[in-house]
Structure 1
Amino acid sequence: MREEVLQLLEKALEDNKSLFLIDFTITEANQIRITIDGDNGVTVEDCIAVSRAIEHNLDREETDFSLEVMSAGVSQPLQAPRQYKKNIGRKLQVKTESGESIEGELTEATEQEVTLKWKTREPKPIGKGKHTVKKEAVVPYNDIVEAKVMITFN
């Protein structure tokens, strides 16, 4: 069943190239759970279209199943390079393998790494007081434990 569902899912995503897969599981009780994201977000209609493309091509007489297609929530960590690319210009909180936590604007996302930039206040090298310093971090995906988009309200 897994291969059949994957083929149907791939075809559904080919029909709308702005959508991409984030997560796909089938439990022992044949509960199919699919999480998708999109370069321009995901609408309810997108979820319905993917769901129908799969559900209408599986035989419930052969195997009983339940199907859930959902969009990646704003509070869920980023998982795919394509998710990082669509969030360029937004503020991220990134936790690294070394335990470091970085908050900064996502300025670049390649297939291997992301670049974050931020400003911080640091003591002046000479004299008293602080000055603003621009910082930058380039973090490979395999060093990222968790990355979330920070939601700000103005």
Structure 2
Amino acid sequence: MIDKSVVKSLVDEWLEGKEYFLVDIEISQDDRIVVEIDHADGVWIEDCVELSKYIEDRLSRDEQDYELEVGSAGLGQPFKVPQQYINFIGKEVEVLDTDGRKVKGILKSVEGNDFTVTVEEKVKVEGKKRPQLQEVDHTYQMDQVKYTKYLISFK
């Protein structure tokens, strides 16, 4: 089986000096390698091809046969790395917390492992009979949610 650290170091070499970042590397038992990269402005197919060739030129198919797929992280897919959170500040996201509660709101900020989402909620206001819609901030830890993903809007 191909060593994941070898593939990661090849990807890291290719990424050096570029604005792309690594999202994930998966290697199956039958040596199917899947590399996901991302960029704040989206991923160009030409760059995926370039990275694929870079990896293929440095791994020997004579030593071990493998299948290689290089692509983008996929819009609407759950975030896997902190940089994805940073890229979507100001955009609408959906968060599923560990209690199974789903919230939709605007990704307001990211600090280290924490991120804040602003959600419109009905809140009981003193002196008012009915709850009022207000913006409420919810702070989560990236590793303490089931997922966070960008909500694609066609409005």
TM-score computed with the length of structure 2 as normaliser: 0.89
Change (3 A) 1:117 1:44: same
Q: CA deviation at 1:124?
A: 4.5
Note if 1:104 corresponds to 2:105. Answer: yes
Question: Which segments of 5 or more consecutive residues in structure 2 lack a partner in the other structure?
Answer: none
| Other-structure match for 1:125 | 126
Give the Cα separation in 1 of the matches to 2:42 and 2:112.
20
| Other-structure match for 2:14 | 12
Note if 1:149 corresponds to 2:137. Answer: no
Note if 1:83 corresponds to 2:84. Answer: yes
Give the Cα separation in 2 of the matches to 1:15 and 1:126.
57
Task: Tell me how large the CA RMSD over aligned residues is.
Answer: 1.7
Q: CA deviation at 1:40?
A: 2.3
> Aligned partner of 2:8: which letter?
L
Give the Cα separation in 2 of the matches to 1:49 and 1:69.
9
**Paired positions, count:** 153
Note if 1:116 corresponds to 2:117. Answer: yes
Percent sequence identity is 29
Question: Which segments of 5 or more consecutive residues in structure 1 lack a partner in the other structure?
Answer: none
**Preserved contact between residue 26 and residue 33 of structure 1 (Cα < 8 Å):** yes
Give the Cα separation in 1 of the matches to 2:133 and 2:59.
59
Q: CA deviation at 1:70?
A: 1.0
Give the Cα separation in 1 of the matches to 2:128 and 2:137.
25
> Aligned partner of 2:81: which letter?
A
SS at match of 2:65: coil
TM-score computed with the length of structure 1 as normaliser: 0.89
Give the Cα separation in 2 of the matches to 1:124 and 1:112.
32
Q: CA deviation at 1:49?
A: 1.5
Give the Cα separation in 1 of the matches to 2:143 and 2:91.
21
**Preserved contact between residue 78 and residue 147 of structure 2 (Cα < 8 Å):** yes
> What pairs with 1:18-97 in structure 2 (closer than 5 Å)?
18-97=19-98
**Preserved contact between residue 81 and residue 110 of structure 1 (Cα < 8 Å):** no
Give the Cα separation in 1 of the matches to 2:149 and 2:8.
27
Change (3 A) 1:121 1:33: same
